[in-house]
Structure 1
Amino acid sequence: MNRRLHALVPPTPARPLPLLAAVWLATRALMLWLLVHDSLPVLGNGAVAREVWKLYFHWYAVLSHGAFPAHDTLWQYPPGAGVVLLLPGLVPGLTYFQAFVVLTLAADALVTGALARAGGRVGRSLRGAALWTCGLPLLLHVPLARYDVTVTALAVVSLLALSRSARAAGAFAALGALVKVWPGLVLFGTHRGHRTRSAWLCAAATGTVSLAFFVMSFDNPFAFLRQQGGRGVQIESLGGTALNLARHAGWPGTSRYRYGSVELVGPYVSAVATASLALTAAAFALLLVWRVRARRWSAATPYDAALTAVLLFTVTSRVLSPQYMIWLLGLAAVCLTSRHTTQRPVAALIVAATVLTSVAYPALYHEVMAGTWTGCLLMLARNGLLTAAAVLAFVRLWRFGRPPSGETVPMREPRAGSDRLAKRAPSYS
């Protein structure tokens, strides 16, 4: 039996892992070099690194006194973000900025290792680890100066833990949601039945206990809700791209720095913001319809559903910051750890959008803010790719979940630790 298995699925060669490690070290060294030279005009004139040593460090000082920033319009994050921002101050022998970068690299290495381990199993692929390793540097040095890598690590670990322990997956998803909300979506595609109940109940319990801790330990843990409610339309979002293009047709609005990002202000902005919220609600409704009507599941379906959900919520959001691409790269990489994923073309679109994102920020961000034709067309191309990726992701997820007419597929839950499809389920390339 073992001989037959090895004949059908050759063992993973040893060479790719050392090569992957070498590429990771080389690319991260390059990212560190870019961060050190952050003051160059083409790298943002210091704006990227300033987020850490000025804004994050300011919040660290407030948090270290047992309170969340209550009246700071820039503080728009759930209470779990406070823990991430406090950790660099606990690392001895390093400045806050240095410790933040070291912890971010550690989270990056954790993601790479988890993806490589998942991809090294029989029947899987190292493409996921390769996508993350080579895709993250496409954002230049931005990932090292944002805590989104840490958030993505929680989401990736949650998804990869799902096949072995639904409870662990739920706990990690809840912790991620407490840091930046969106990791809660990674449980959307869990197989109906015992695994969903275990994951969701554990997520609810973990979230409740963690929130209770923040309420008892800090003042103003829910101050972020007030700031989130006041946000407008960010210049990089789909709505912001439409309004920027409208400038060339006579729209009198302008861009202004508010709530931690560059937003557009002027007539019809509130209508665009409302439309974005309506589209987000419609996206959620579509995902619910898929979950109710899906009749076919594979071990890759939770991964595919997580990527689809986050893509839909990202493209319909009023905010679409460059660091959001870190989330999408991480989830796309998880999808590629399975040979049964339906999302390979979607991953390619995400990589292309990532390249355009790094051109827009920081290199040509002044063009985007000014609403020039260069800035408008750049954001139109980037957001067009992301919209196409979101639509394609949902279509492929939907088609896989609905068996061909007349075919009946039993709703069997994949075995823990297995990456096999039901016999009648095709593999999508």
Structure 2
Amino acid sequence: MNRLRVNTGPVLGVSALWLTTRALMLWLLTHSDSPLLGAGTLALEVWQLYGRWYGVLAHGAFPAHDTLWQYPPGASAVLLTPALLPWLTYFQAFVLLTLAVDALVTAALVRAGTRPGRSLLGAALWTGGLPLLLQLPLVRYDVQVTALAVLALLATARSPRAGGALAALGALVKAWPALVLLGTPRGPVTRGAWRWAAAAGAVTLGLLAVLFRNPLSFLRQQRGRGVQIESLGGTALNLARHAGWPGRARMQYGSAELVGPHVHAVALGCLVLTAACCALLVVWRVRARRWTEATPFDAALSAVLLFTVTSRVISPQYMIWLIGLAAVCLTSRHTSQRPVAALIVAASALSTLVFPMNYGEVMDGTWTGCLLMLARNGVLAAAAVLSFIRLWRAARAVEPVGKSLRTREPRSGSERFPDRAVSLS
């Protein structure tokens, strides 16, 4: 009863914060015609793009000839869910369902945070961090994708099978949730999670291939992507415009991309950096000697950060992913990523200053636009480097003799991590 009394206040505080901030986000959405809020362009993606795809998907086919269709086949399930609320318009149903998924993530983080030895900081970060992106999270399906990743991470410690299946479903919706399985502890937990991920992914992909035509058409559009103006490479090219580079920004593949000399080389450089980050993560996985309950959370955040900052595209909605993963990290008192979470909050606020508030400046390549992008991407790059360094040090640390906790590997995923770190050396 004492523990219940102690936890009631913070839980009620998170609930009140969620209700207040989500009401504010809805108000911003209804007033999004303001130039500072994007002049109505944010909502157009649901009205025009998602709605158009819904019409194609409802007839049993993927929009194979639409250059804007760049998502894995699992995205179809999310885009079709507004059909569950036929008495509402597509836009109204999409926003309402997004809010429901947002509430589910909050509840899962609160539940995880109220367990013994855990923290409600994660729930507070998600609840208070998402509104930094204004109304954007309500009109993108990244909240749904992030929910699958968050639930996969929280489930894996208790049920590797459920965690693996959720991660596979997330990967089929938007690829990156596959990274949440990177930090699963060696042994039965990893084998169970990865096997169930492979099985769930194969079965779901097969089902989608039966139900819809052209399930892999998105790959053709992905190959055509260039360097988005908001990426690290795009920031470098935008700055080069002030040194005489003759390129310019152009809308293509659904985003503002830079076109001109050397763009292909910059895109190739981004791919090389991504490959290098992949190699670093594999080395970390092989050489890691020490796991805590927070290691899977920290590894997922670090991996997604590294892949984000080296990507040719860093859209503002990517910050939703990072806020969600940072929130999971903060549910554990053993996390090494607290400073990284603070940097992600700062980067989210800077992202809003970039888009939608000053996107015209960015497109025109003015000094204001360039400096805003340099600040946002600089903070993100610092967060990625710091995240990996702290992940590496935490996994390689060796406790003094007599203090390390020697334990057998859990025989099933239902056995919890011990409160203290486990030495695997």
- TM over 0.5, shorter chain: yes
Q: Contact (CA 8 Å) 1:296, 1:411: kept in 2 or not? A: no
1:406 Cα deviation (Å)? 8.3
Provide the rounded CA distance (Å) in 1 between the counterparts of 2:418 and 2:88.
43
Change (3 A) 1:28 1:286: same
- Size of the aligned set, in residue pairs, is 419
Provide the aligned C-alpha RMSD in A. 1.8
Alignment of 1:271-290 (within 5 A): 271-290=265-284
1:14 Cα deviation (Å)? 1.1
Provide the rounded CA distance (Å) in 1 between the counterparts of 2:346 and 2:269.
27
1:404 Cα deviation (Å)? 4.1
Q: Aligned AA for 1:132? A: W
Q: Please tell me whether residue 293 in structure 1 is matched to residue 287 in structure 2.
A: yes
1:38 Cα deviation (Å)? 1.1
Alignment of 1:234-383 (within 5 A): 234-383=228-377
Change (3 A) 1:252 1:403: same
SS at the partner of 1:226? helix
Unaligned stretches of 5+ residues in structure 2: none
Q: Please tell me whether residue 147 in structure 1 is matched to residue 146 in structure 2.
A: no
Provide the rounded CA distance (Å) in 1 between the counterparts of 2:398 and 2:421.
14
Encode CA deviations 1:156-208: one digit per residue, 9 max, x unaligned: 00000011100000000000000000000000000010000000000000000
Structure 1 match to 2:169: 175
Aligned equivalent of 1:220, options 214, 224, 244: 214
Q: Contact (CA 8 Å) 1:189, 1:302: kept in 2 or not? A: yes
1:17 Cα deviation (Å)? 1.1
Provide the rounded CA distance (Å) in 1 between the counterparts of 2:16 and 2:57.
38
Structure 1 match to 2:223: 229
Encode CA deviations 1:213-254: one digit per residue, 9 max, x unaligned: 011111000000000000000000000000000000000000
1:39 Cα deviation (Å)? 1.1
SS at the partner of 2:275? helix
Q: Contact (CA 8 Å) 2:61, 2:214: kept in 1 or not? A: yes
Provide the rounded CA distance (Å) in 1 between the counterparts of 2:258 and 2:408.
49
Structure 1 match to 2:419: 420
Q: Contact (CA 8 Å) 1:124, 1:419: kept in 2 or not? A: no
SS at the partner of 2:285? helix
Encode CA deviations 1:37-88: one digit per residue, 9 max, x unaligned: 1111111111100000110000000000000011110000000001100111
Alignment of 1:82-97 (within 5 A): 82-97=76-91
Structure 2 match to 1:54: 48
Structure 2 match to 1:105: 99
Change (3 A) 1:412 1:366: farther
SS at the partner of 1:15? helix
Q: Please tell me whether residue 208 in structure 1 is matched to residue 191 in structure 2.
A: no
SS at the partner of 2:251? strand
1:419 Cα deviation (Å)? 5.5
Provide the rounded CA distance (Å) in 2 between the counterparts of 1:37 and 1:403.
51
1:381 Cα deviation (Å)? 0.5
Provide the rounded CA distance (Å) in 1 between the counterparts of 2:219 and 2:387.
30
Provide the rounded CA distance (Å) in 2 between the counterparts of 1:134 and 1:417.
29
Q: Aligned AA for 2:416? A: G
1:403 Cα deviation (Å)? 2.5
Provide the rounded CA distance (Å) in 2 between the counterparts of 1:87 and 1:329.
24
Unaligned stretches of 5+ residues in structure 1: none
Q: Contact (CA 8 Å) 1:76, 1:228: kept in 2 or not? A: yes
SS at the partner of 2:335? coil
TM (norm. structure 2) is 0.96
Aligned equivalent of 2:22, options 10, 28, 41: 28
Q: Contact (CA 8 Å) 1:185, 1:310: kept in 2 or not? A: yes
TM (norm. structure 1) is 0.95
Q: Contact (CA 8 Å) 1:295, 1:409: kept in 2 or not? A: no
Provide the rounded CA distance (Å) in 1 between the counterparts of 2:271 and 2:5.
48
